[in-house]
Amino acid sequence: MRRMTQDEMKVAAARAALTQLTPGALIGVGTGSTVDHFIDALATQRDSIRGAVSSSERSSARLRARGIAVFDAAEVRSLPVYIDGADEIDARGCMIKGGGAALTREKIVADLAERFVCIADESKLVHRLGRFPLPVEVIAIAAAQVSRRFAALGGRAGLRAGVLTDNGHPLLDVHGLAIDDPVAMETEVNQWPGVVTVGLFARRRAAIALLGTPQGVRTLAF
C-alpha cells in the first residue's frame, strides 16, 4: 500500500476542520501550507459561513480568490473558532508558530476566538517544543539586544534573511532552545523591550488538534 505523503496528510487534516464550522458565523483563518488546503476546502462550503477574519495578506488573498468574504479584525468582537496550523505542537496543546512570518496577526485573531483548532500533519506533534527554531518578531533596533538575551538562555538567534512581516518588522529565528515551560518563556520574552511577539502559543494554546496520519485524522482535545 502506498504511504501517504506529508502534503496528503495536511489535506486530510484541513478537510477535517470543516466539521468545526459554525453555520452562518465568521471564522478565524490562519496562515501556512496546511491553511492553504483548508481555504481550498472551505471554498466548497463558502455559502455556509458569513466570511473570515484572516491573519495575513497571503491568506486574505487566497480567501478572496475563492469567493470568501474577508472581514477586518477591528470589525469583530468575537469568533466561534480560529483554525490554523503549527510548526510544533506538544501534548498540552502548546505550539510554536511563525514559520510563515504571520505570528503577531495570528495571535490577534486567535485571541478573538472561543476555540483554537490546530490542523497539521503528525510530524508536528513533539514531546518538547524547541526543535523548530522559535520565531520572534522584533523592532529592528532591538534585534541585537534580543539576540543577546536569547544567548543567555542557550539559544542562537539570527535574522530571517530577506523577510519582513506584514507589519513591516524583521524576524529572529532562535535555534537550540529546549522549552520545558512554554507559558513561562512566552510570558518572559513578551516583556523584553523591542519584542513585538514571540511565536509561542502557550497562554492561548490549542483546544483541539486535528493531525493527519497515514491511518487517517487523529483528534486530540486539550
Half-sphere exposure of 134 (CA within 13 A, CB side): 32
Q: Where are the beta strands (DSSP E) in the chain?
A: 26-29, 51-54, 70-71, 79-84, 88-89, 95-96, 113-121, 134-138, 156-164, 170-175, 195-198, 200-201, 208-213, 216-221
In 17-100, alpha helices (H): 33-42, 57-65
- Catalytic residue, candidates 8, 57, 106, 186: 106
Whether 137 is catalytic is no
Residues identified as active-site: 106
